[in-house]
Amino acid sequence: MSMSNSKKVSLAVAATGMMSGVADAARKKAVSKLMAGIRDDDAKVRTEAWQSAGQVGAPAVKPLARVMANKELEVARAAKRGLWKIVRHAGRPGVGNMKRMVSGRLIELLSDEQPVPVRREVLWMLSEIGDRNAVKPIAALLSDRELREDARMVLQRIPNKAALAALRAGLKAAPDDFKLNIAQSLRQRGVKVRGLDCVKLIPTKKTNVKPL
């Protein structure tokens, strides 16, 4: 007895759904296991957990970010190191899709719902794997007084035209006390910037120590 095409399709969809459900369950289990390890009281267990985070990947990004603000210093640190492990694992050659997924989750963490230290760390993670999609949300932070210097440096490091364009636009919009910073990034990217001389060699900090 032959099966109709529509039946074949519906079976395939069901099978795919089941497989997807299985995969989802496996992912959730991996994330739960990772997070339990990260929160463990034993330093060795925490270390084993964060070192294994790379394999868990994108689904663990947000749970780890939440724990980065934990009051327990070592638990927060383990979460941060786990997140970095994911970034380093996702950035390896030949895994473009994984990198995009991790980068996408990181971008979502740049919103102002997150604490500043978490967003600062995430910015630097994106400096290593962020692509064109990361540029606009990072550039938005050029107007955030607490994060603008990190955002500037991160855009400087992302080697694409979008990041360069964001720096150019950022210079036009920047308040006077931040223009020199962005000008420096543009110079590093090979752009000639007129009217904003480099001040790196100008001393500014005086000592209270007197000579004999």
- Asked if 167 is part of the footprint of another protein (rule: CB under 8 A), the reply reads no
Nearer to another protein, 172 or 200 (CB): 200
Nearer to another protein, 65 or 151 (CB): 151
Phi, psi of 173 (to 5 degrees): -90, -10
Dist. CA 212–CA 207, nearest whole Å: 14
115: amino acid identity, one letter: P
Nearer to another protein, 2 or 208 (CB): 208
Give the Å distances, CA to CA, from 120 to 65, 70, 108, 146. Answer: 12, 16, 13, 9
Dist. CA 196–CA 105, nearest whole Å: 37
Dist. CA 17–CA 4, nearest whole Å: 20
Nearer to another protein, 172 or 210 (CB): 210
- Asked if 202 is part of the footprint of another protein (rule: CB under 8 A), the reply reads yes
Interface with another protein (CB under 8 A), residue from 63, 101, 149, 193: 149
* Six token digits for residue 13: 């969809």
- Asked if 128 is part of the footprint of another protein (rule: CB under 8 A), the reply reads yes
Binding residues (CB under 8 A) for another protein: these are 43-44, 46-47, 51, 54, 73-74, 77, 81, 88-89, 91-93, 120, 124, 127-129, 149-150, 152-154, 156-159, 180-181, 184-185, 188, 197-212
